[in-house]
Amino acid sequence: MARLHEYQSKALLAQHGVAVPEGGPASSAAEAAQLAARLGGPVAVKAQAWVTNRAATGGVQFAQNPRQAEARASEILQMRFGNFAVTEVLVERMLDIHNELFVSVTIDDAAQAPVVLLDLHGGSGIEGRAESVQRLPVDTHRGVDAQALRAVLGTSAIDADLHDDVASAIEAIVDIARRYDARWLEINPLAITSDGNVVAADCRMTIDDYAVFRHPQLPIEIARELDHPATQLERIAYQVEQADHRGTFYFAQLPTDGVEGSRGLIGFHGAGGGGSMMSMDAIARLGFTLANFCDTSGNPSAAKVYRAARIILAQRGLVGYFGSGSGVASQEQYHSAYGLAKAFWEINLSIPAVIRLGGNGEDRAVDILHGVGRDVDSVSAPVEGYKKDDTPAFIAQRFAQLVDEAAGRAWTPRPRRVPAFVDRAYHFPIHHATVWIDHEHCDPATTTFVVEHSGGLLTRRSNLPVLAVSEQTVAGMDSELVALEVECRLAGRPVVFLDLPIEGLDNDAVV
Amino acid sequence: MGMAILVDGDTKVLCQGITGSFGALHTKGCLNYGTRMAGGVTPGRGGEHDTNDLPIFDTVADAVAGTQATATMVFVPPPFAADAILEAAAAGISVICAITEGIPTQDMIRAKSALRDFPEARMIGPNCPGIISPGRRVAGEGADAKFEGGCKIGIMPGYIHLAKHDAASGLAVGVISRSGTLTYEAVWQCSDLGIGQTTCVGIGGDPVKGLGFIELLDMFERDRETDGVVMIGEIGGSDETEAGAWIKQHMSKPVAAFIAGRTAPPGKRMGHAGAIIGGKDDTAEAKMEALRGCGVSIAQSPAEIGATIAKALGLPPQ
């Protein structure tokens, strides 16, 4: 689920009638000092990071004056929480808190409806008090059960005069969650100050990924749950996905802090959520650390699988490439095999790759992978293909063996190879790509081979292969053309090349 | 027929979103399997026919009137899918299989609440592979096999399934799964061991969904042809543990289960409320332990799902 920063979600609260402390974000210590000066008096300086327990780890500190605020901000801006490097702090006026409540709106999957979780003692350590947390059902049309809410407040130590204000704030919070399609909206604490105001002292909000399209105004870069701000590769991958909706493509980098003592970092390429999970389990059990999670499934095009592989292999330090997801996919697996084959050739893969492509067309998929593995021009490390009858546990063992034999050679990302004929040869455009055919090296037999393997997209003219269909027809045929490129190369006739540039990764893109 | 739950070889099926690329592709796949596809719905295209010569209607009500269909598969894009589900319910469809991935949760909460007015309508999904009651193999092998008398509604590969009639063991299980791809693995293993399937239901991975484990366990318990049940769960939520308690109380047939997600992909849990809602039960290990305590046979790895249910059914090891 896409997360908002505390200051971003507080802005939404304020906009819809829930009071928040006065303040704002700062991305430098000097800016924090200026903010503190403007606010006057004591301030809180809070790391803007998607982690719990910031207070216990020094991510929330207090300052009496601008000079202290500057020092605290400087300290916090150097912090890292797991995968999350802090780049912003929230500076806000200190509250004089009299009572604290824990208020959270989420989806109760047992009730299949929203629920308000309410605890009369807010603040940290709430997980440990799960027993005392009250659950108030939320009706789709009527909102939170007002009577139940009053009943709970009636048992609290909060001044009875303030119950109306607290109830209104909670009702507003429920409404904001609905309005912005929040999967979670958590206020901990909802503070009652000594002077009798009800203020959201903290706020965490995650938006339903599926509904982000309805809220273009929200500052969400990637509609996915990440435990860190999007990395450069994740942004690149997300652009690839947005540009091509054929099949799913999900790429996220994982924390690799525990890599010491591990058997090494691996690039992981799954297909299908459940199948990917079991494959990740299998490889993690052998002591490897996943550098990333990646899923291409639901009939992805060969170009999409190719781009996924390139993005995975843009990560430094990998000891191998492990591809395994569903063993019985209903997609044609040879498209994926061709996409991988092209990627492995372009970067001359030099770490072992073990790929399980079970399901439709698996025999052909495995033949392609083994073809690449045998081709010394394509790769300089073993590439092995497996089918549905080979279990993830089995291929994980095989992978470990190949990595051991490679004796710790780690991957350094390198730019892709582009054949010399690109830029001057016969070419035509397809979606987000260009197809190049090296007519200079098309002897009659090669032309015959190319035309025969083009699935009717190319024809022979003056003894050379040229486009047989309209540019509109060929535009979405990248899977067929990637297949053609790989088949030509494996047949020793490398005259076809698809330039499938990846924005942000290939500065050498030729268009 | 009584060889299955919810759908069988007599079920007439519609496709909502039949003219979209996915709807068209999978309508053909279902037809090839032998499903009685009766027509499709695309607003504004009523009166036309699709590439398989199936009639297209503007509304589900028209399609029901014209074809007497009782089931539908929904391939409508996410922003309109919840309305499509409700339209099907209002038109009297009794099995609504929502394949669409990415329906906003708030839409599903509203749809789920509105579905209470249509107690006859049973929803499967969304974000699921669908439902299949396997047919008998009448010709061919592997992916080229031909089947008869079955009903496949959804995107799963039909050929991996095995009808009880064709099962060497003479036994058949029901399959209930939150995971798409793991369902296929489990089915394949069962078929390979000669264990047939009466019906396989992918219930989908979204938090707000149609039929759940308990309703389906109940149907399989009552179904004469079903000899046992395979359950595939995931981390997140408490559905599996609640199903375990139900099994302990009500289920006489053997149940085998696997819970995926020891290595959870990012995004399965979040925030304080995650820990409170899911509690300490929300890990794969805890769920497996809870189910074991309820008499469910647990597969330690997904590769052992078939062998686990075989043993629970009293079949000799292979």
Give how far A423 is from chain B: nearest CA, Å.
Answer: 35
Nearest by CB to residue A327, choosing from B107, B188, B205, is B188
Give how far A156 is from chain B: nearest CA, Å.
Answer: 21
In Å, how far are B24, B50, B114 from B53, measured between CA atoms? 12, 5, 34
Describe the crossing of helices A362-374 and A333-346 by its angle, rounded to 10 degrees: 10
Minimal-distance CA residue of chain B relative to A126: B272
Omega before A300 cis (within 30°)?
no
Query: Which residues, 6 or more positions from A346, have their beta carbon under 8 angstroms from its beta carbon?
Result: A310, A416, A417, A418
Give the mutation candidate from A109, A209, A362, A387 for the B interface (greatest B CB count, under 10 A).
Answer: A109
d(CA B202, CA B186): 12
Contacts of B99 in chain A (CB under 8 A): none
pTM: 0.83
The Cβ-side half-sphere exposure at A238, using a 13 Å CA radius, reads 15
d(CA A383, CA B29): 33
Query: Which structure tokens are listed for A485?
Result: 């490129």
Lowest mean pLDDT segment, chosen from A77-86, B17-26, B290-299:
A77-86
Average pLDDT score, chain B: 90
Q: Classify residue A79 by its DSSP letter.
A: -
Query: Which residues, 6 or more positions from A255, have their beta carbon under 8 angstroms from its beta carbon?
Result: A82, A83, A227, A228
Q: Do the chains contact at B181 and A360, CB–CB below 8 Å?
A: no
Residue B313 buriedness (CB in 10 A; 0-12 / 13-18 / 19+): buried
Q: Classify residue B92 by its DSSP letter.
A: T
Omega before A189 cis (within 30°)?
yes
Most confident of A266-275, B67-76, B182-191: B67-76
CB contact at 8 A, A116 and A185: no
Q: Classify residue B55 by its DSSP letter.
A: B
Query: Which structure tokens are listed for B291?
Result: 């189910």
Contacts of B237 in chain A (CB under 8 A): 109-110
Dump pLDDT digits (tens) for B206-257: 889 999 999 999 999 999 999 999 999 887 778 899 999 999 999 999 999 9
d(CA B103, CA A209): 10
In Å, how far are A78, B282, B284 from B278, measured between CA atoms? 33, 5, 12
> Tokens 């997209």 belong to which residue?
A457
End-to-end CA, chain B: 32
Q: Which residue has the higher pLDDT, B201 or A223?
A: B201
> Tokens 């009875």 belong to which residue?
A160
pLDDT band at B284 (very low <50, low <70, confident <90, very high): confident
Minimal-distance CA residue of chain B relative to A328: B184
pLDDT of the residue at B286: 83
d(CA B28, CA B34): 10
In Å, how far are A359, B80, B123, B191 from B94, measured between CA atoms? 32, 20, 8, 29
Contacts of A272 in chain B (CB under 8 A): 179-181
- Residues of B forming the active site: 272
End-to-end CA, chain A: 36
Nearest by CB to residue A281, choosing from B104, B181, B263, is B263
Nearest by CB to residue B273, choosing from A106, A208, A277, is A106
Give how far A425 is from chain B: nearest CA, Å.
Answer: 34
Tell me the pLDDT of chain A (511 aa) as tens digits.
788 999 999 999 999 999 999 999 999 999 999 999 999 999 999 999 887 778 788 999 999 999 999 999 999 999 988 778 899 999 999 999 999 999 999 988 788 899 999 998 877 677 677 778 899 999 888 899 999 999 999 998 899 999 999 999 999 999 999 999 999 999 999 999 999 999 999 999 999 989 999 998 998 888 776 667 788 899 999 888 888 777 778 888 887 766 667 899 999 999 876 678 778 888 988 999 999 989 888 788 899 999 999 999 999 999 999 998 776 666 778 899 999 999 999 999 999 999 998 877 888 989 999 998 888 777 889 999 998 888 888 999 999 999 999 887 889 999 999 999 998 899 999 998 999 999 999 999 999 999 999 999 999 999 999 999 999 999 989 999 999 999 999 999 999 999 999 988 886 433 3
d(CA A82, CA A59): 13
Closest among B282, B206, B201 to B241, alpha carbons compared: B282
d(CA A221, CA A215): 12
Q: Classify residue A95 by its DSSP letter.
A: P
Nearest by CB to residue A188, choosing from B103, B270, B272, is B272
Contacts of B210 in chain A (CB under 8 A): none
pLDDT of the residue at B122: 97
d(CA B34, CA B271): 47
pLDDT of the residue at A280: 85
In sequence order, what E strands does A280-425 have? 289-290, 292-297, 318-324, 353-356, 383-386
Q: Classify residue A259 by its DSSP letter.
A: G
Give the mutation candidate from B21, B26, B106, B179 for the A interface (greatest A CB count, under 10 A).
Answer: B106
d(CA B78, CA A438): 44
Closest among B205, B195, B210 to B260, alpha carbons compared: B205
d(CA A368, CA A379): 13
Query: Which residues, 6 or more positions from A235, have their beta carbon under 8 angstroms from its beta carbon?
Result: A221, A222, A504
CA angle B179, B183, B184 (to 5 degrees): 130
Q: Do the chains contact at B182 and A281, CB–CB below 8 Å?
A: no
Contacts of A295 in chain B (CB under 8 A): 265
Give how far B314 is from chain A: nearest CA, Å.
Answer: 24
d(CA A55, CA A200): 16
Minimal-distance CA residue of chain B relative to A277: B261
Helix (H, G, I), strand (E, B) or coil at A26: strand
Q: Which residue has the higher pLDDT, A408 or B149?
A: B149
pLDDT band at B69 (very low <50, low <70, confident <90, very high): very high
Query: Which residues, 6 or more positions from B142, have their beta carbon under 8 angstroms from its beta carbon?
Result: B159
d(CA B117, CA B123): 13
ipTM score over 0.95, yes or no: no
Nearest by CB to residue B180, choosing from A254, A272, A284, is A272
Query: Which structure tokens are listed for B95?
Result: 């099995």
CB contact at 8 A, B193 and B219: no
d(CA B131, CA B203): 9
Backbone angle region of B152, left / alpha / beta, with phi > 0 → left and psi within -120 to 50 → alpha: beta
d(CA A359, CA B96): 27
* Amino acid identity, position B131: I
CB contact at 8 A, A107 and A210: no
